[in-house]
Chains A and B, each alone.
Chain A
Amino acid sequence: MSILIDKNTRLVVQGITGHQGLFHAELMLEYGTKVVAGMTPGKGGEWVLDGKVPVFDTVARAVEATGANTSVIFVPARYAADSILEAADANVPLIVAITEGIPVQDMMLVRAYLDQKNVRLIGPNCPGLLTPGESKVGIIPGHIADAGPIGVVSRSGTLTYEVLYALKLKGLGASTCVGIGGDPVNGTSFIDVLKMFEADPYTEKVVMIGEIGGSDEEKAAEFIADHMTKPVVGFIAGQSAPPGKRMGHAGAIVEGGSGLASDKIEALRGAGVAVADHPEQVADLLA
């Protein structure tokens, strides 16, 4: 059991003929993900990855021909908003945008449109999803996580790998790992994912990895206090970050006294979350 993706996930890769798209399509295929289609405008009719994956000109055609139910987006930032909207209009229920650097105003438009449709966007600027042993959608290295009862949700990429790997070294496995992305405006929040983990019978405990900027962690803390029965362990990155400076991720910035790591940690501890002092300690707190 898992959330969002599993053995039945049928994936279309948008931007499959690009450098990143092709590289990761191959890794996903090797992992066992059912990569049923690729999509690149102008490349329809071709086959990639030793003839294993057909390429289509549009997402709608890919869905029609292959029954794809999930899309992953590797297209460059300037075309990414369009790609997300195309997948939404093709009624792909789960859209995972890996692309980093999409303009915020594009994402506000996309989000306003998606809110009217019955689709879920994960990301952008995220490592994607991994349900160990079943399916991987995105770029999380498959070998760093085993299957198990821990749900993981994170705003970060490599920091998530760090935590997954620490879990593995402790003999702990993950039900599903969800990277919601480091942008200020994204498709899925901590609360959305916490709800899913709370409802998933296989997930026993949850790890939540946040960072400075915005107030999603504080809101998640309220949700945890009011609605979560499963234990949550957290880590917040950026305790030593100076205010007013963007720390790599577009969303990681302390502005006007809000978005501070200390406020987030306090809110989470207040909600009964065990907050780790450093990422590897997350595994100890789960034991």
Chain B
Amino acid sequence: MKLQEYQSKQIFAEHGIAIPKGRVAGTAREAKTAAEELGGRVVIKSQVLVGGRGKAGGIRLVNSADEAEDAAAEILGMQIKGLPVRKVLVDEAADISTEIYLGVTNDRTHRRPVIMASAEGGVDIEEVARTDPEKIFKVHVDPLLGLREYQARYLATGIELPRDQWRDFISIATGLYEAYVDSDASLAEINPLVMTKKGSLLALDGKMVVDDNGLFRHPDLAEMRDIDAEAPAEREARKYGLSYVKLDGNIGCMVNGAGLAMATMDVIHLFGGSPANFLDIGGGAGPDKVEAALKIILSDPRVDTVLLNIFGGITRCDDVARGILAAIDEIERKVPMVTRLVGTNEVEGRKLLSDADMLTASSLAEAAQKAVDVAKEIKVK
């Protein structure tokens, strides 16, 4: 789960990291009041969960409360990469002398956290990693020991930070690492961390991604989820514990297991078709879950046909069949379906579906081929 900039920075501040004085505003009027309180010269920053806000015109520096109101009115009406801007952060403008990058993330390869710093702040760090990897300094942290002072110092010397800034920098790095651990984050990033003309370090921007699997420990963070930013189908799927990702094709897929769901999409592709979604009903899904899953798939108007691929283990084929029948009864929209049921209770499952008007297949390849053929026929009509 991604957090908004203002939420991330709030967490950083709770861990002793200096952030600009700021207020969150949902209307231009509120932005004006905030700007007045902050002395007029402020930055209006759209709060949306995508990168490239600046380039899209979603970040503006203004010199008065009236200008702030106008800028906020414009930004609050914008869509950035398809996401509507519903809030802006009004931050006191800072006098920037230099910009640094500082971030902590999970390093899968080393199976431990890595903290990274670069003197090239304020730009896309992945771009720096591609073009000038030697400009990024990395230290792996033993999770049992936590970030040690000497490790933060290594980063400070690496990016050639002036010595009188080391103490501040080490305290910020330590705070950022703690914020990452305390929030079960997979990413905590300050980009840029700026040195002001007065010589103090300030986290101008903040980004955090929290591990969904860790949210049970953080009800406060779970509440921060921006439900508006989620597609309705994805929200519905999450409610039922289904894993759903919408894609661009017209063949809806319902599969048990993530690996098999991916493989099913791949086979559809291989035979010249295009999957409409990734959907894993998980292990041991009962009829209710299957019914919800089929409704979600059919809520996508582009879906012309549905491929159901179930390899029963914990999941029982008869449960799946019952869910399908219940859903078909309730949903008005009829599309041709191809079903392939193998494994636990497959005979019972197939029997239940034998009266329903469906194509069946015994192998995954056969099922995918049939679904692709059906989708093509519909397109021709």
Interface residues, chain A, with chain B CB atoms under 8 Å away: 20, 77-78, 101-109, 111-113, 127, 139-141, 144, 154-162, 165, 182, 184-185, 209, 211-215, 235, 237-242, 245-252, 256-257, 261, 277-281
Q: Which of B142, B247, B257, B275 contacts A158 (CB 8 A)?
A: B257
User: Does B108 contact A214, Cβ atoms closer than 8 Å?
Assistant: yes
As a 0/1 sequence over residues 347 to 364 of chain B, the CB contacts with chain A under 8 angstroms (1 = contact) are: 000000000000000011
User: Does A165 contact B342, Cβ atoms closer than 8 Å?
Assistant: yes
User: Does A240 contact B275, Cβ atoms closer than 8 Å?
Assistant: yes
Q: List the B residue with the shortest CB-CB distance to A250.
A: B213
User: Does B213 contact A101, Cβ atoms closer than 8 Å?
Assistant: yes
A238-B313 contact, Cβ under 8 Å, with A104-B186, A112-B143: no
Interface residues, chain B, with chain A CB atoms under 8 Å away: 106, 108-109, 111-113, 126, 129, 142-144, 181, 184, 186, 211, 213-214, 216-217, 243, 245, 247, 255-263, 265-270, 275, 278, 280, 283-284, 311-314, 342-344, 363-365, 368
Q: List the B residue with the shortest CB-CB distance to A154.
A: B259
Q: List the B residue with the shortest CB-CB distance to A256.
A: B126
A243 shortest CB reach to chain B, Å? 12
User: Does B263 contact A185, Cβ atoms closer than 8 Å?
Assistant: no
User: Does B216 contact A78, Cβ atoms closer than 8 Å?
Assistant: yes
User: Does B267 contact A158, Cβ atoms closer than 8 Å?
Assistant: no
Q: Roughly how many angstroms separate A257 CA and B311 CA in the complex, as a whole number?
A: 31
A-B pairs with beta carbons under 8 Å apart, 20 shown: A20-B284, A108-B112, A111-B112, A127-B313, A141-B343, A157-B283, A158-B260, A159-B257, A159-B263, A161-B313, A240-B266, A241-B262, A247-B262, A249-B258, A250-B213, A252-B262, A278-B266, A278-B364, A279-B364, A280-B363
| Residues of chain A within 8 A of B111, CB atoms compared | 107-108, 111-112, 185
A206 shortest CB reach to chain B, Å? 18
Q: Which of B181, B245, B313, B364 contacts A245 (CB 8 A)?
A: B245
| Residues of chain B within 8 A of A214, CB atoms compared | 108-109
| Residues of chain B within 8 A of A239, CB atoms compared | 266, 269
User: Does B112 contact A105, Cβ atoms closer than 8 Å?
Assistant: no
| Residues of chain B within 8 A of A161, CB atoms compared | 260, 311, 313, 343
Complex A-B, nearest 8 residue pairs according to Cβ-Cβ distance, in ascending order: A156-B259, A248-B258, A158-B257, A159-B259, A103-B214, A237-B262, A158-B260, A248-B280
Q: Roughly how many angstroms separate A105 CA and B113 CA in the complex, as a whole number?
A: 9
Q: List the A residue with the shortest CB-CB distance to B245.
A: A245
Q: Roughly how many angstroms separate A101 CA and B216 CA in the complex, as a whole number?
A: 11
Q: List the B residue with the shortest CB-CB distance to A116.
A: B144
| Residues of chain B within 8 A of A102, CB atoms compared | 213
Q: Roughly how many angstroms separate A238 CA and B186 CA in the complex, as a whole number?
A: 22
User: Does B364 contact A105, Cβ atoms closer than 8 Å?
Assistant: no
User: Does A185 contact B108, Cβ atoms closer than 8 Å?
Assistant: yes
